[in-house]
């Protein structure tokens, strides 16, 4: 995971709400955190999106309020 497009992603209080996701060096798209949880436009498997979101939360330490 990295900040999207090499520029600062929307981050607040140490948590980024939008990140570019790649798996095995293949770009998967942008993951966004919102009121209803994690979403990715290009990934239809919500369980995979949730797992990626959980890894992000683990990386940053806690889910935002």
Query: What tokens appear for 34 in the block?
Result: 């919102």
DSSP type of residue 14: T
User: What is residue 65's predicted lDDT score, i.e. its pLDDT?
Assistant: 63
pTM score, whole prediction: 0.75
Q: Return the higher-pLDDT residue of 8 and 11.
A: 11
Tokens representing 41 are: 């436009």
Q: What is the model's pLDDT at position 3?
A: 45
pLDDT, one tens digit per residue, over 17-50 is 899 998 888 889 999 998 899 999 989 999 999 9
Task: Round to whole Å and give the CA distance between 19 and 33.
Answer: 9
């Amino acid at each position: 995971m990295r900040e999207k497009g090499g520029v600062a992603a929307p981050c607040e209080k140490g948590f980024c709400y939008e990140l570019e996701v790649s798996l095995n060096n293949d770009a998967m798209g942008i993951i966004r955190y919102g009121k209803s949880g994690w979403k990715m436009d290009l990934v239809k498997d919500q369980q995979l999106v949730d797992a990626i979101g959980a890894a992000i939360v683990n990386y940053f330490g806690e889910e935002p309020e």
